[in-house]
Amino acid sequence: MSKPIVRLRPKVDPRPIRHGFPWVYADQLVTDRRTRALDPGALAVLEDAERRPLALVTVNPNSKIIARVLDHDPGADLTPAWLETRLTHALALRGRLFDAPFYRLVHAEADGLPGVVIDRFGDLAVIQPNAAWAAAHLDMLVDALVAVTGVARVVCNGTGRARALEGLPEEMTVLRGSVDAPVEVPMNRATYLADVMGGQKTGLFYDQRPNHAFAAGLVRGGGQMLDVFSHVGGFALAALAGGADRALAVDSSAPALALAAQGAALSGHGTRLDTRKGDAFATMEALATEGARFELVVCDPPAFAPHRGALDAGLRAYERVARLAAPLVAPGGFLVLCSCSHAADLAAFRSACTRGIGRARRMGQILHTGFAGPDHPQLPQLAESGYLKALFWRLDG
């Protein structure tokens, strides 16, 4: 059967779509009665205002991103074979990058599966179907995933802000196999524990892997390190494996800190990791009052600016993090400041951090700027796919 047609409004330039931009916003599409009647996740052929076909898209009349490009061939179709081709292509890249099957397998639009995130933990995969089309075709997606990768266990993590924006309900479901414990993940010479059913996002942040490694190199000769917003010990465990004498992990989540402690024990560093549960800002203020100093301080907070409306407040929060963290760095030590807010670009984030460090009466040099690992490829036409920034500073006395 022929697919429905959706059309760009007059005066909307079709060239960004032709050149790879994957989204059509609600105010760019003709939303007549037939378009509004389409089920969320329905397939359609996108045309420009001159009725020239542009792409195969999925449509969600309930979302500000009303159409997402699935294929630039308007004659393509969403079939098991189509999904297996996309997943095979993604798997081939990760097979070149990593020796073991622990990585982000699908990074949404950048891997040609808009709104879909899949993280792999050995024989287990966690899918985040954050777009209506993926939720509507979840069974077919899971079948294709199992066929291509051979994973035995699959979890659907249907939580988070992105699903709410699509009008999708929250749900957490084991779709294949069973999950009865956190999953051990080898990474950067340490063993992490990912709580794939109750942790943040998919249970572990693979995107910081290269930044964990770079930070660990800064304390390979020993020293004390502080990991603020630690989650399950991302930077702390890598630093201990790299040669740090001790690490202090700070987080507001007791379960996350418990997993960090278990990971340290599994990695052979259990006696060298300390944890402190509490608000990150209050804890940094308390550590300064205690006179604590560290050769390496890392702050990896949640997204303070998840959208443009939160940008000003988010930048003030990043500035405050830098102001409170800088006094905790020993003379000549290192400060790592991270942002996963796509609304705060690198220049704005760097300026906020510089102001914060200056307000703490410290100065320094930027040694390195880190981004997400290569299992989180960027789609050059979509700035949101390059969300992660990590600034590595060496501070003076």
Active site residues: 340
- Exposure letters 323-352 (e unless 16+ CB within 10 A, then b): bbbbbbbbeebbbbbbbbbbbbbeebbbeb
Strand order in the sheet with 224-228: 273-277, 246-251, 224-228, 294-299, 329-339, 389-395, 364-370
Whether residue 227 contacts residue 248, with contact meaning beta carbons closer than 8 Å, is answered with yes
| Per-residue tokens: 202 | 């998919």
d(CA 56, CA 75): 7
The torsion of the CA quartet 24, 26, 29, 30, rounded to 10 degrees, works out to 160
Name every residue whose Cβ is closer than 8 Å to that of residue 260 and which is 6 or more positions away in sequence: 230, 231, 232, 233, 236, 237, 249, 251, 273, 275
Please tell me the total number of residues recorded for the chain in this structure.
397
Q: Vertex 206, ends 202 and 212: CA angle to 5°?
A: 140
Phi-psi region of 156 (alpha: psi -120 to 50; beta: other; left: phi over 0): beta
